[in-house]
Chain A
């Protein structure tokens, strides 16, 4: 059972904390410390809003170990409103058909059960469709 890597990632998993480059202003998620745009150091923390839209999506029927109980589930590339793409599951989809361009927002959910009899649960970000009612407000 690995605990340390999950603990180390909790800012990213729970709060979508990335970075912003003080030199060119680009926003980075996941954090990567060196700006891919200008090549300079980019370690200033930045809290992403968690708002974005679906860039692409699909369904997983044959999951990796630890993800069996959620199968089938939808994974997507989400385009965050600040710019970066992020790989994430979609959740709370219900009857709403997901499409490319569907507005989504970040929520925290159980990600996986570690493949271990002690069953470490890992929580982190997923995205859910934003209801039209909420969009209108």
Chain B
């Protein structure tokens, strides 16, 4: 048996022994997702034991080095683990902005001390992070942001406002873009990390069209941030910010779902009882796109791991993946008919179809809009002029 097949067998055995049956069911709602953090509570014993087994084995962040809480898996091994988890429908043991966004940025730009400290905390689900990028006047044009950190020797005093900060009211720490030089647009931003319990930090939830309020306005009023709590060089935070966005876009693109992508038409048929011919045709067209995109996700990850592929490719993935996800929910609403309009009925699990459908509309906005993704592809991949 080759090494990789041996690893596959071991992984299968390990999953069999450690992944409880409840954790092999599809995620039904937000409560099924474990985010970790100081205030985290497990929904049930299965969730707890699955999380703990993974954290122990380094499988909350399988590709990270062991000294930072990972399992040190290489590209092919990570793929095998992904495939084997996909095969049994295992839920992610831990979801977090730390894993998807801050972690990769720290691995590239962090000091050894920062890596050992923050990455282990993330891997163990101890600290929940939120992202302080957008401001009321700075969305797509993020680099125009104004939140300012005044230099006070051994610390900064930060003042300003962020907006659309997902889970700011539940997060423990924030990674935050702060202007530290008003005279230099691109080289005047510092990438800071600080505790949301710091004096002067406050949040105000914003209600989404889905009726949930997972994001906030975040205010900084003379917040003191110690000087050592920045990543990368002072005033060079834009490099860190952009690198992190690549990973955020990869995550939102849903690229990892490749092996698990299956045709939705069959599911819709089960739900709806029968499909009218036009809807069936729409579903089939969608399934062609989704299965093709599944292959793209797999190719994208293989290429990334092997250091091939264009560095701006996550932007393409995010554009296509989010547009597809919106289309998927449009079709699900159409297949569900009037039943899927119900906003809080028990049968719909409290309006899951309609709330989920509305939530997906944010996919092509958050983390950079579809239009911005196309701008980046045009400029960086196709090398078009003046883009």
A binds B: no
